[in-house]
Each structure stands twice: as C-alpha cells, then as structure tokens.
Structure 1
Amino acid sequence: MVIDARNQSDTIFHLVISIGGMAQSYVYVLSPTSAGAVPFLAQTNPAPFGQATYVANAPLETSEPIVGAHGRNIFHLMGNQSPYFPAENGFGVDEYALPEGANISQMHMLQRHGSRYAPGAAPPAAWAPGIANATATGTVFVGDLSFLNDWSNILGEDMLVPLGPKELFESGVLNYYNYGQLYDNSSKLVSAKNFLAGFFGLDWAEHANLIITIDPAVTGLFDCTRYFDGIFLAFEQADIWKNIYLKERTAKLRKLTGNYNWTVADSYYAQTLCSYETVAVGYSDFCQLFTYEEWEGFNYYMDIFANAGVGFVSPTGRAYGIAWVQEFLARNFWPGVCLEFGNDADIVAAMTAFGLRQFAEFLPVTGPPAHHQFVSSKIIPFAARLNIEIIKAPHKISARRSKTSAHHDDYICGTGETHYVYFILKQRTIPLHVSFEECEYRDDGWCELPTFMNVQMESLAKADYQYACFGNWTMMGYGAYTDGRPV
C-alpha cells in the first residue's frame, strides 16, 4: 500500500508491507484531510438534459449538453482528474486469449487511488475565497456565471470521495476474477482496504494485514532533491498551453463577471472544479461553461504536465520510477500476485523507468500532435492500474496470433517451454515491441521474458538515481530531455 504524498503534509509515517512472509518498508507523508458536503443528487440534479428516452440515474451526472461534444464524454478528457473508464481503443494491438496449455504464473499490479477531493493547496480551496470576496463586495456575475453569486466551496480536501472506494472495490472484484487463483491463501496479502474488499469480500481482514508505524524520516520522493526541477518545468510549459487554449473562452467569460477581473487562471480553476465537484457531489455547473474542444485542451494541459513532471521529458522521470522497476525485477521469481498502491505519478514514472518509449513523444506547447500516445486521461485517470502478467507456455507462441476459440495453431512445433511478459494499462495491452526493438513484433504485444529482463538491466543503469537526484547538472529548457534523465 502506498499513500499519496503531498508537500503540505505535517505527518510522516513508515509503512511496512508483508507479502508471503517477505517484508518491504517504505516511508510516506500523510496529508491532512477533511470531509466535504454530503451529496443530495436526487434533489439537486437538473437532468434530464433532453434525452429522447428515459435514462436510469447513475452515481455521477455526466450527460450535460456540451457544445461540440456530439455524444462524446468530456469526463474522458480530464487528465488525471478523470473518473476511471475502460479505454475504448487501445495502444496499437488487439487483445488475445491465452493459448490452451499456457498459464499465468505471476501478476504484478500498480494501482492508483480512486477519485478524491483536490489537495488543500490546489483549487477549489485556493480559488474559492476570491470569488466569495468578490460577491461580498458587490460583484454580480451574470449569464452562464450567475450561479457563482450563490456558490461556495463545499468540497473537502485530499481524501477519497464515495466514488473513489467504489472504483477501487470494482478493481478488486475485476482483479479477483482475473487472478484469484494466483493468491496463496496460506499467507496474508497487504493492500488497500477498498480493493481488498472487492478482491476478498468484506472479511478481507482475515486475508490481509495493514502495518503502519511512525517514522521521522522523509519520503523517498522528497529525498530526490532535483525532482522539483522537472515539476517547475512542467508547470511553466503547461501554463503556456493553458494561455493558448483558454484565451478566447476567458475573454467571453470576462464579459459576465462585472468588476471581477476574470483571467485564464480563473477559467482553468473552473475546469478543475467541474471534475472535482462532479466526483464529489454528482454534478457541477462549471462543466457546461466550456466546449468539447476546450475540454480537449484541458486534457492536453494534463498531458504536458505529467510528461514533463515525471515522464520522458522530465530529467528525473526514470529516477523517480526506478524503485518500482527494481522491485519488479527482484520479485520476478516469486509465484503468485503482487499488489502495490500509489498515485498517478508512480504509474507514469514506472513506465518511464521501464523505458516504454511508445509514450516518449515530444508534446509541443502550441497544441497536441495527431494521434499522440501520451494521453493522461487514458493512462492515469483516478483508479488507473498497470498490470504485468508473467506467462508460462509449453512451447513458443507464434507472433501471428489466431482469433479462433481453440488457439491450437498458436504454438510453434518443435520448441520448448517459453516465458512471456505482458503489460496491461487500464485494461488494454501495451505492445512491448513498439518500445523495445529487442522484442519481436507480435500481434499480442507480448515479449519473451528473458529478452525483456535483459533490456531492463540497461534501464537500471539509465536511471542513474544518484546523479539524476543529486548531481551537479544544469537544468535546460523544455524538449532538451527526451529519455527521462538529465543527459
């Protein structure tokens, strides 16, 4: 279990994880949290929004009429603030079943926490006082912004909203059905409570231990002193794009704000409130202020920020994620299932440290390139997860896979037992041959395990943790770093 670390935290704790009798210790920062208002969507929901037929209510109201959407869902365009959704299209390959006789021997999972309130230092908490002060001193918002005259921040801080446990519970149920037989019930697993409730049921405590002890040390995240160089770069470059995609919308909204000087920052805060209010109380008036194209712009803002912060454009991306790669390599010969829980940055950094260069393309601050692969809402929405399967097959499996039900033709006659590794991000296959030329092109995107392990020995060296985190290197401009390291 990994707890999301924030630098405004004032409590530090040490977490010991025990899996199958083997212990691993981590140090993390515990963020201050506070609960928000209780939803009452059955009373406050302004839907239906013009559907021709009855649509049963769901926990969130996501059918708001958005200009230019044409049936598309803007909640798939909110970057790392998107509620979890299975990707409709994958990363370049189709999904294939295991050939008859092949078996999954291990599964390693890195799971992000579910939907939550914003951190205390972020909007809405940092923005709401300005709006409250404006209305208290005579500002009258009109038109589409008139709801701000009575608006106040009803959200909590940095804790899961009710949708968050649901997302983790459903992930636990899904992973139980996919991998339940890999669990050795002679020992207890350690994991997050809501996931475990989905995986084991409400009696999960009979199968898992959570051990937390206080420790005065600092986290590994903040121990990497040069990590923040990449974060500052990420903020700087993402803001350039923000001023482009929100320029026209800001000018239109400013006409509705009276003597309040509505800026691009206000427009951006309003977009973030759309997602945070919706996952917290089910519906938000902020969503309809923007067109579908402007939501695409918001999503790309998150793409730039995540990639420059901990991805291949960051000088410390590999260093941030290398610890998880090292753990994967060290426990690769353990049987069964290994579950770890972290945040969005952990997933992106792990992908960077592995060297998944399919997601290494440069993202210009002038606008998104066509068909770019690093789409944050597709990679790291709330409750995102990266699953890695180790597959043992009695023979080599043909790189050209069959779609038939029997799969007898998938094996190559005359070959012996072969092990493969299979990456699944948000329930879709990552084709390993796209990132590693050593892995043969395969319809299923897998790679032979010995080949992949040899590649990862090189990744460990590339991360160069000591130099990346503490070295005397000069910070260069956006685009100078293309491999997640300061070279």
Structure 2
Amino acid sequence: MLFSILSFILYACVHCLHRRNTTTQKEPIPDLGLPEGVLRTWAQYAPYMPVARYPPPPLGCALQRHGARWPTKSAGEDYKAAVDKLQSVEEYHDENLDFLKDFKWDFDSDALLPFGADQSYAAGSAAFDRYSHLVGKENVPFIRTAGSTRVVDSASNWTAGFVGASDNTIKAEVNLVIPESGNITLDDSMCPNAGDGDAESDKWLAIYAPPITARLNAGAPGANLTDDDTHNLMTLCPFHSLIERAASPFCALFTNEEFEAYEYFADINKFYGNGYGQELGPVQGVGYVNELLARLTGQPVQDHTQTNRTLDSSPDTFPLDRSFYADFSHDNAMVGIYSALGLFQEPSPLDPKAPDASRKWIVSDMVPFSARMIVEKVECVQHLPAPRKIFVRLLVDDAIQPLKFCGGSNGMCTLSAFVLSQGYARSDGDGDFEKCFA
C-alpha cells in the first residue's frame, strides 16, 4: 500500500507537525519531581504529555496549544491575595505551610515561561523529525499565530526547533500574525453573548473545596481563606512547579484525591464555557473548521463566521498548496474547535455535582500547555493501477480519535465523509453565530 500524507497541526499556541519515520516512541514526561498521575490532574495547566503513542501513517494532521506561561495578570492577583492571607498569620499549625515564612512573590504575568519556550522548541524539533518528508527547500511549512505575545513567542520557538532539527536546511518562519482584536479563528473573542462555565464549576467548588479550606484555616489560624482562595492556592502548584522546574511546596498542601477534584472543576468550566454545555460554545470553532476543510480539499474557504475574509482569500496569507501547516492559538479556542468538529462528545452533560470517572471530557488530555491536535490527510492505493482513496485521521495529543461522526473505521474516515460530517461548520453554525450578537 502506498501513502501520500498532508498534515496540519494547531498548537495552543497551535502548530502543525509531521513524522518522517515510523517510530512510536512517546515524548518523555517532564521531570518535575512529581508523579505523572499528579501532573495529569493539573487540567489546562498541565505540561504536555502524550495520551498515547503516536501511531505512524496512514494519516496525519495535528492541533496543539501554546507552551507553559506565567499566570494571567488578573489570575495572578487572585493567587497573590490568597498567599498574602497565609503570610499574614503569625504562627502555623501545619509544618507544610512553613515554607511561606520565606516565600517571595516575584511572579511575572501572561508571558511565556522558559519551560514553555523549551516545550515549543522541542515540539518544533519533533515536528520535523516526524514529518520531514512533507517539506523541502521550496515547500516549507506555512505558520500562522494569534497575536498574543506568548502565542507569537511559542510559534517562533517552534519554528526555531523545526529549523534546527533540519540542520538549517529548511528556512521556515512565522508567516502570519493575526491580531486578536478583529476577525480571527485562533481565538475565542468573537462571540460576546457566549456565557462561561463559572456558575457550573462554582457548584462543584462548593462541594469539593470546603473541607480543604477548613483544614488550611486550621493550619493557619486567622488566615480566613475562602473556597476561592483554596482553589487559587491549588493552582499555584502547577504554575510554581513549571516556573521552578521542580515540585512546588504548594503541591504538598493537597492530596492526590483533592487534585482530582480540582481537575474536575476545570473540566466543568471548559465544558460549559466553550464546549457542548454552552449553547454558543461549538460555534466559536466553526471558522477554523471551515479553514481546515479548505486546506484538506484545496478549495477556497467557505465561511461567514470568524474568518478574516481578506486574509483567507489571498494565496499569500492563506495558501492552499502546502503539505504542512502550523497554527498557534489558545486553549479556549481549541475547546471550541473540538466541539465544532464533534470530538470528546459525552452521552449527557457533565454533572456539576458529581464526576463521572468514565468521562472522555478531561481537560488535561485535551488542552494542556503545548497540547496538539493533528489532522492527517492521506492518499492510499492498495494495488496499482487502482484509483487512489483519500482518508482523514485526527489525533489529540497523539491519541487517535474514533471519528464515529463520519463512520470512522480504525480512526479513519474518507475525506468526503469527513467533509459531509461537518455540516454544522459548513452551515456557519446553523444560525448560532448570529446569536453571538443578537
């Protein structure tokens, strides 16, 4: 059987990658001095860890999130406020809190962490190693990025890793930076009427956090922590660990079971924010899906939602003749894209008051830092001169998605069946996009 592969990768930052050989080696788990099971409870703040070994072609295309960053400015202020409460206490009754006597808050905000820069560089290097057969001096990847500095920096580091792995024979560069203030498919900023998942995740916070808050307040008399403070202190475990590249003392304040509850908070928040639990969640990914269909079919973009029609109509800013595309974006945008495509569907909405251990919607598997979705287009011929057949395969963090919505077999659909399955995107969201503004 002969294979010809076309690949797309979206990172959050989003990027594309392709493998030149058939190795199935998993990328290593980051060495932060903590068990993998703990890292995987950090939800969207987890470092990238493949969910499965990458199965080599037949098919290839990918989507990935940006590398690890500092907390956002507003979130960092909330985290610091919780730390300040603990540091105002004169005497701790829990020795695990003693480190706070000498702890200094010197966090930056929003920017890419050195750890995240290294993630992006490594992802670019892995992309070349996996998909170098798709590129050449005259056929370089086309690389787009959303305009946030941390996303642009992720794309630049990824590109440096890709070029470095080619021994500088491939002169790839970031081709297009798209501002996040206008029409854009790499951000979730174009649906002002969309709600968020705060109300639902707060229901779970009110269940899981009070016993932890009570324990922390007993260990720090007078701190008067709230449940929100508790959640913020738990979030410092992943952020501080990634900053220090070692296990943070904040992690020792909580048990593995408590981090599993913390993870479910994020699962709920994303599900009801940009996922299936939000009426206007999936429509936020429609524009990108229509761009993906254009690349897969080699036809102009047909979309009247988030796409920038000026950029998408020009071969300079949206070429259709490349074998390798890399896009860099944010986690919320990726969740909307997954939902528009029909990935990670649940038989019923997530229960804000009780986790389902069998759920597929697990944020740490979907959009950890440097997460990736890979979409592969492959032409196959069983026996020459039989006609070629074109298939699509889709992987998230190297785990093959079943693609039941297009009659997938072994995770593969024919291209025509995949295109037909995306009726929601091809109809501009069945009227949902207008609801974003009505």
Q: Same fold (TM over 0.5)?
A: yes
- Which residue of the partner structure matches residue 236 of structure 1? 199
- Does 2:266 correspond to 1:302? yes
Q: Is the 8 A contact 1:80 1:344 kept in 2?
A: yes
3-state DSSP class of the match of 1:198? helix
- Which residue of the partner structure matches residue 222 of structure 1? 189
Equivalent of 2:396 in 404, 417, 425:
425
- Which residue of the partner structure matches residue 378 of structure 2? 391
Structure 2 Cα separation of the partners of residues 4 and 276 of structure 1: 17
- Which residue of the partner structure matches residue 128 of structure 1? 80
Structure 1 Cα separation of the partners of residues 258 and 82 of structure 2: 24
- Does 2:233 correspond to 1:270? yes
- Which moved further from structure 2: 215-224 or 301-310? 215-224
The TM-score, its normalising length taken from structure 2, stands at 0.77
CA shift for structure 1 position 182: 1.4
Equivalent of 2:283 in 319, 329, 340:
319
CA displacement 1:306-350 (0-9 Å, x = unmatched):
111101111111221111101011122244011100011122111
- Which residue of the partner structure matches residue 115 of structure 1? 68
Equivalent of 1:355 in 335, 342, 361:
342
Equivalent of 2:45 in 81, 92, 114:
81
Structure 2 Cα separation of the partners of residues 183 and 150 of structure 1: 52
Report sequence identity in percent.
Answer: 24
- Which moved further from structure 2: 270-279 or 237-246? 237-246
CA shift for structure 1 position 303: 0.5
Q: What do you get for the CA RMSD once the two structures are aligned? A: 3.1
Equivalent of 1:140 in 64, 74, 91:
91
Change (3 A) 1:214 1:342: closer
Change (3 A) 1:76 1:115: same
- Which residue of the partner structure matches residue 208 of structure 2? 245
CA shift for structure 1 position 59: 7.1
CA shift for structure 1 position 260: 1.7
Q: Is the 8 A contact 1:141 1:256 kept in 2?
A: yes
Equivalent of 1:439 in 407, 413, 423:
407
3-state DSSP class of the match of 2:64? strand
Q: Is the 8 A contact 2:344 2:361 kept in 1?
A: no
- Which residue of the partner structure matches residue 293 of structure 2? 329
Structure 2 Cα separation of the partners of residues 367 and 453 of structure 1: 36
Change (3 A) 1:134 1:242: closer
CA shift for structure 1 position 221: 3.8
Structure 2 segments unaligned to the other structure (5+ residues) = 1-8, 14-28, 145-154, 299-319
Change (3 A) 1:193 1:414: closer
Q: Is the 8 A contact 2:11 2:64 kept in 1?
A: no
CA displacement 1:70-108 (0-9 Å, x = unmatched):
x653111110000111115x8xxxx7554xxx6x5xx54
- Which residue of the partner structure matches residue 206 of structure 1? 171
Q: Is the 8 A contact 2:373 2:397 kept in 1?
A: yes
The structure whose RCO (Cα within 8 Å, separation 6+) is larger is 2
Change (3 A) 1:360 1:306: farther
Change (3 A) 1:127 1:356: closer
Structure 2 Cα separation of the partners of residues 322 and 360 of structure 1: 22
Change (3 A) 1:131 1:270: closer
CA shift for structure 1 position 416: 3.6
Q: Is the 8 A contact 1:393 1:417 kept in 2?
A: yes
